[in-house]
Amino acid sequence: MTSSTDLPATRKPAQPAPASRSTVRRAKIWLALAMAGWGTIGVFSIQAGTDPITTVAWRCVFAAGALLILALATGAFRQSVWSRKAVLLTLGGGVALVANWVLLFESFATTTITVATVSYHMEPFLLVALGAVISREMPRMRDLVWLAVAFGGLLLATKFIGVNGVERLSGTELVGVVSALLAGLLYALATLAAKHTTGIRPYVMTLLQCVTGAVLLLPFASPVQWNGSGWWWIAAMGVIHTGLLYSALYSSARVLSTVALAALSFVNPAVAIFADIAVYGHIPDLVQLAGIVLIAVATLTITAPRREKPLD
């Protein structure tokens, strides 16, 4: 007599093995470093001195060149496993990502960096909500509370809320708020697409997305002024903020939970404030420092390794 486990038709498909603790820890470190790096992008975009479409288009060009070299040097093309689903998710995520960059830079141009940053960082909540709908990855109430604490810290750190109440907005600034909110939504979609893309190596995935962005935006972009210094800042955004840091994001997204991805994104605005201090001499007050502490505590609490309950 045979048992049901001997019959091939009743066997369940093998589930992917969960990532080891060391792999998860390494992914958290890489993503935190990536978010810290993105905290400086406001400085780079201001120094570039170009319009949003031109900045993003040439950022994609420089990133694609760097990623092509990295992909060839590491054998990423050979190691990639191609499927229709992976290619579609990659290209769709690329369109979302590039549109996110254009809208975010447009937000910086039409409202204050403070308002744009606060509006854009509704993204962690959008990411968790979309993750719950798409992956049925329901967050714990404790994690949602700490995300809210991190967002409260962001409101204080950016001085969006101060002694005079909530910052008032003009009609033009409201356009910036909507742009930033849409940018945050598109970033969340791009991150989720990366989380569910398997087979294509991160360098190759980011390369395909940057080529897509360049093809879509170059016809509308202004030529680069090679005799100035602006192109150096755009090139740095392409190589560092896009080529290297987005590859780190995509490799981490495949390992970490949606809640961890959301929590670590708050590292970005915290570092942006310190970049503002270092470059432009804007010294934070005690309220801002309290906000940064809240962001740090909430992020560390959510992303700390969870203790396994002992088996009875």
DSSP-assigned letter for residue 223: P
Which token pair is 14? 């093998």
Ramachandran region of residue 140, left (φ > 0), alpha (ψ -120 to 50) or beta? beta
Per-residue pLDDT of the chain (312 residues; tens, 9 = 90+): 444 444 444 444 344 556 678 888 888 889 888 888 888 887 788 788 888 899 999 999 999 999 999 999 999 999 999 999 999 999 999 999 999 988 988 887 787 776 777 778 788 888 888 888 877 767 788 888 888 888 888 788 777 766 566 666 677 777 888 888 899 899 889 988 888 888 999 999 999 999 999 999 999 999 888 887 888 999 999 999 988 898 888 888 888 888 888 888 888 877 877 777 777 676 677 877 888 788 888 887 877 765 544 434
pTM, two decimals, is 0.77
Alpha carbon distance 125, 148 (integer Å) = 9
DSSP-assigned letter for residue 238: I
Between vectors from CA 83 to CA 80 and to CA 87, what angle results, nearest 5°? Answer: 85
Alpha carbon distance 234, 239 (integer Å) = 9
What distance lies between CA 162 and its chain's CA centroid? Answer: 27
State whether residue 196 is helix, strand or coil.
Answer: coil
Beta strands in the chain (DSSP E): 161-162, 165-166
Which token pair is 11? 């066997």
DSSP-assigned letter for residue 165: E
Torsion sign over Cα 83, 87, 88, 90 = positive
- Residue among 176, 241, 249, 178 nearest 39 (CA): 241
- pLDDT at position 274 is 75
Q: How many Cβ atoms sit within 10 Å of the Cβ of residue 15?
A: 6
Which token pair is 107? 């937000």
User: Which residues make Cβ contacts (< 8 Å) with residue 213, sequence separation at least 6?
Assistant: 56, 57, 59, 60, 94, 97, 98, 101
- Residue among 42, 45, 55 nearest 218 (CA): 55
Q: Are 305 and 70 in contact (CB under 8 A)?
A: no
